[in-house]
Structure formats: C-alpha cells, structure tokens
Structure 1
C-alpha cells in the first residue's frame, strides 16, 4: 500500500483529495454519491455527501487491448456507448437503476455496489473485469492497485476487493476494466415449465457445450399487478399470447438467452427447442425484455404491497426448489432468486437459504424501512476479521459510508 506510484493516469483528482483530507482531519463522516441510483441498497449511510459525478470522462480506450480506463464519476451509459461504438461491451451486464433525480449510475458506483445482470452466471461478476483502480483512502492518500493487464498483480488484489465494498474502503477515482467483443449472434428461447423442471433442465444444459448466456424463470405476477401497455410483449406471456389481468393460473415460463458464434447459437436453438418444446423469440422483442429484467422494470419487481420487501437469495446453482410460500423470479441458472415477502419473514428466508449453503439479502425495504432487520446476512468470524482489518488499513477513522454494510 503506497501513495501514487506508476499510476494508471496522471489525472489527479485534487479537489476530491482535499475534501477527503479535510473530512479525515475533522473526523467528519462522508457519504459517497455517484448517480445515487442504489441509495436503497444496504443500510442507510450517514455523513456529508461527497459527490463524484463531476469527476467524469473516458481517459483511455484501447479496443485492440480490450481495456478501458475511466474516471469513476463517468455515467455508465457513456461508457457503454463508447464501447458499443467499437463493437464491445461490459460482459457482466450491470443494471441501470434510476435515481429519483432521473440520473443514471456511474461506473464507480457500478463497481462499488458489485451488482451484475442476467449474464452473471456465465460471463462472471464485476470483480472479474476490474484490472486496476486508483482510489483515495481514509487519510487522503491517492493509491494505485493493479493496472491495465491481467498479469500484473503482486500481493493483495485490492483493486478487485473494491468491487462490492460499497465505498467503505475508499473513494474510487479511476478504473481500468477488461471488456469483450459483442457476440456475433444472440437468440432467446422461451419454454413453458414449472420451477422444478426449469432448474433441472438448466442443470442439464449447463453440463453441455451450449452457448448459454442468461436465464430467467418467472411466474406471471399476481392479479392486480402492474401491466405493460396493451399489445406489448414482455416476459409476461408466451409469444403471441396476451394474459388476462384477472388470470390466476398464469403460465410459468423459462427464458434462456444464447450468445456466441452464429453456427453455435443456431445449432443450440434447434436442439434445445426440440428437447424441451420451446419457441424462439424475435430479438427486437427479447432485447428490451432482458434489459427490463436487468434493471428490475419487469412487473414482477413492482411491489405487490407497500409493506413487502424485495429479497435477493444467492444460492448454489444446483440448489433445489426452496420451501418458501412466496412467488419468485429466478436468474443465473438458479443461483439468484428474487422474492417479495414481509420483513417479519427474515428468519424463515435466511434459514431456507442457509440450509442450501446460500445467503439472503434484504434488497429493497418496504415502506416502513424494515426496522430491526439486517440488510445483509451476518458474516462468519473469519470473513469478519478480514473485513475489519481491510477497513482499519484503508479507512482507520471510519469516515467512508459508515454503517452502509451493517
């Protein structure tokens, strides 16, 4: 751990460094704010706002090297547009949650939150694509870890530890990210099948050389839930089928997205449709649906009742159907499961997740804020010790996002 050496850039965030040093001297807590699109996630953070959105811009993009270096306050949309212009993308499919102000997420917030979209199970998570980072620690020192290639890490890989740290280790200023070319072909198949059959089928396909990229199993929302505009086709129905708002026996559907070489995708479509009786969706229809799934804009994610909480279950892909009386949406070939339930069901939900070696997160609290319920599962003693030592090393006075992770 050392101040600025062999930096990713010579681009110095003088104003941010000054703000952090002043806060450290006064022991003033800071609440890091980028796009503020994930303010709901984790425990409410206290402190004086430290805004990063003005610290923006793409510093370097080397398409032939598959790497992009950006300032942390750069909007995610701006980064993705620059990559798309060169036929590239961020494979972990980061969500585009919207803030009350209408602003979108920043790339620094994407890494700090560590959240990934539907492709996570096959493409990898956020930290898998962080090559290097610069950040300001709790003493106002500007530090560099990693770089712009995969094989340059000596000692602790702190740049990847920033992914999912929720800003509690330091203020990210620059990131170098690995990117990949957009796949030549993409297709989405939809199958009518229940949750148990869908999980079993996904496990079978997962053991075969198929270009699987994403999956989503969902049962249509309960009567009265929000609906798309008339004529719209989303994950709510079999292609060409319009569901009645009063229907109780709504279909259970599995959607699978394939990406890869043209021949591989076409062959997989034919084989999977034949094996499980699926239909192929038009990409113009499926693309917006996957984006809506990624960004939690599907009707499933509209709270059935203001007092319910959205729970996120992180489980082994091979975990069976859980004995929980709540409707679910399942992604990542079974590894990520969403459900709406009251805060009072926390013990029941967490016990069910722990029984299959998983854990549960209270992702979005209900209208009352779910007082007394932890947002994240308690860490084990070993992980607690590592986390505590990291925070003491990088933020000894605890000024960054205090309490955000509980």
Structure 2
C-alpha cells in the first residue's frame, strides 16, 4: 500500500477530501487543488458548500481569484454528501473543537465527522485529523470509529495520522502554503506517506514525529506557551498600573535583549479559536492521570479576568470626569480578536461589551472588518458604518479593544472626551491628556 500511494502522490493521481470548510479547511482545500490534486470539500453547512461551488470566498486567508479559478477548472468542488468519501484517497478532518459550558472538550464535531467518513472509507485511503485536540484522540477515538464503521484495519487497509493545523488569520507572512507542518501517524509507513502528501502541496518543511500523540501534544504546547506568557504580561500589567509604570514600555525595553526573551503584550483578554481554548484540553486530559496543570490553570484565570479588569479601568476613567458606567455612552473600537481580521471567535471585546452593558452603559461599536456579530446570547449586534466626529464627541468614553491599522487614531484622540486604550493603539499620539492605557 505504501509504494502504491507514494506513486499516486508523485503522479498527482490522488483525490483529496477536506472535511470542514472553515478557517482551516478551506485554505487547505485551496492549496491541495492549486497543487494539482482534485479536491472535494465536505461540510454540513449548505451555505458554505454553495458559496464554494459558486467560487465565492468567505475566508480572509484565501485569495478570491485562486478560489474562483480552481472551482471553474473543476479542481475544487464542495458537497454535503459524504458518500463521495468513497472517491477520495486522502481525507483531512478540519472541524471545530470548542469547549462546552463546563470548560471541557467538545469533540462531537470530530466524532460525527469521523463516523460519516467511516461509512464510505475505502482501502488505501489516508486519513488525517487536523483539528486541535487532546493527546490520544487519534488513536483512542478516531481509530476505533474508523475501524468499526468501515470494517477496515488501520495500518493494513488505511493509514491514519494527526497533523495539527497552524493557521494565524491575518498573518501577512505565514499562510497555509508556507507554514511548516508536523506529522505524526500510526506506524512508520503511514507517517512517511502522509508526510509525503503534504510535501507535494506545501512549501514549508514537513517535520515527522513518532506518533499522533506527540503531534497532538506539540500543538497544545504551541498554544499553551502563548497562553501562559500572555497571562504573565497581563498580570504584570495590573501590577504596573498600581506602580504607575507602563508595561508597554517595559516590554519594549526587555525585547532589546537579543536572546532569551520573546515579547508578549497585555490586552483585554484572549481571543481566537486556539489560544484561549487549547490549554483546557490538556488540563482536562491531565486529570485522567491525577495531575493538575497548575501553571496553565493560573494563566487561564488571569486571562479570563482581563475583560472585567478592563471594564473596572473604564469605570475609573469615567470617575475622573465625574461619571459612572451606569448611564454612560461608550464607543468600543474593534470587536475582532486581533487587529486587521474579520474573526471575532472568543474575542475578549465581546465580553467587555457584555460587562459594560450589564453595568448599565449604553454601548455602540465600530469595526471596519466586522459590520455585525452574534454575541454570546445569540443576539445580532450591528456596528456603526463610519466614525463621525459627532458620534466620537458624544461618547463619554472610547474604548479600544482591537488595534486595527485602518482607524485614524489621531482623529479619535482629537475628538474624544476620554479614551481607554487596551491595545496601546495610540502609542504614537503626542497629546495624551484624554488617553489612559492598559
């Protein structure tokens, strides 16, 4: 099976399937098709399937012209019908892995997708899970589901591995195409073949590890590393405020050291699909071994309280002007979880807005990337279409929660009564009497 698949990869005689056409799946499907492999995208959402088949892009990291071209050429199509799995030789599962209401892993999307794939899995197929999850998922969950559902045996009839997604929305340098890839599979043959498949599609290095569990843990380490370091600077930011020291200046000074330090900056909390969620996967799994990940849990608590801390700081700013949060008009700038993207998954700005409203503030927002969003209560919030001088001046407080580069911060500073800048977006503004920074 190994030699046959290696030959098919070299000859581009492989049909690729990608399950889940979101922030991870669609860019991967596009790159597979651009590399010359006929690709079928699978998704349970009919709207996404219809948009892909019409060549209409909805993911920021995908080039519109690329999608349109590969769809027109027949290299990429999408469907909700999983029976087409029988036509593919390589399947990447790229579905969400959120947390449930108890902050525990919700792997229902992975489980249901795997069951759907298993029904139509044929001999000689490579299956790869890309969804971030806890160590052991591929071998303990995916493998038995595929074997029981298909009647095939892993390692003999099909290959199974894990290759964690590395998607950073808005990153201008690293995209799916040129980001190094880690591959861990069940057995050396599976690792070799799956890694070779990625090498024929991607420009980044493909690094092979000894097992899916190593690859799964590696992905958790990447995001836990960032979670903990952001928690550190957030905690120090709170202390620095009490000491009347600028944490932003402290970090900028520290990063002049050419070794042993990487700069992380404070903010209103953590956003995105990975960094706020993935460490909880490891903490949950660790309890199975009677182990508590105290450092991870501590950083999680610090980061989780940042939205409320920011609102407390907003209240202190308003108090300087003899006003309270209750009844105040607050203009929030930016609901995306980071600058210059249209992604608001787990955005701390949404929690800041919720807390402000719970405390009686009248909140409006502007985000040039996100004209509307659905909050945690399922309500649709619509933003301002533009930032008029009168609107800025009428607000008792302007709160910056995402440092979008296409906002004129000098214009904001000149017209706002008071500003709380949680992202240091106004660092280049000289007149700072009405600006307070996190």
Give the TM bin, normalised by the shorter chain: under 0.3
Larger Cα Rg: Structure 1 or Structure 2?
2
Q: Which has the higher strand share?
A: 1
Higher relative contact order (CA 8 A, sep 6+): 1
* Structure with the higher helix share, 1 or 2: 2
- TM (norm. structure 2) is 0.26
